[in-house]
Amino acid sequence: KAGVTQTPRYLIKTRGQQVTLSCSPISGHRSVSWYQQTPGQGLQFLFEYFSETQRNKGNFPGRFSGRQFSNSRSEMNVSTLELGDSALYLCASSKGTGPGNTIYFGEGSWLTVV
């Protein structure tokens, strides 16, 4: 079956702009989470959504937001982009929420802020 799908795969934005990234989870998966990966900080948890509700949020400023739709698709948005937001953004899905579930990741969206 299809894996986690993320769009766009690559994008370049200018400082101050905003960006929206999309994620389609594995069919039947209701939990979607987002992670940011940078060379300096590694992989860091952004937030998790389950049944259209944000269940948990990592230590990121309010410029980072997300949402989940009734079909479990998710989007994340970063406003007022900064150079430090350049990163690989990974979306992941699992059947349910809670640590007993295995999380499956997509290929990510590579964001470059210039």
Partner 1 sequence: AQKVTQAQTEISVVEKEDVTLDCVYETRDTTYYLFWYKQPPSGELVFLIRRNSFDEQNEISGRYSWNFQKSTSSFNFTITASQVVDSAVYFCALSEAGSGAGSYQLTFGKGTKLSVIP
Binding site for partner 1 (CB under 8 A): 3, 31, 33, 35, 42-43, 45, 48, 50, 55-56, 58, 88, 90, 92, 94, 97-108, 110
What's the closest the beta carbon of residue 3 comes to partner 1, in angstroms?
Answer: 8
Q: Please tell me what DSSP assigns to residue 84.
A: G
What's the closest the beta carbon of residue 16 comes to partner 1, in angstroms?
Answer: 26
Judged by beta carbon, residue 80 or residue 112, the one nearer partner 1 is 112
Strand ranges in 51-106 using DSSP code E only, listed in sequence order: 53-57, 64-68, 74-78, 87-94, 104-105
Of 26, 100, 90, nearest to 58 by C-alpha is: 90
Judged by beta carbon, residue 78 or residue 91, the one nearer partner 1 is 91
Burial of 108 from C-beta contacts in 10 A (0-12 / 13-18 / 19+): buried
Judged by beta carbon, residue 65 or residue 104, the one nearer partner 1 is 104
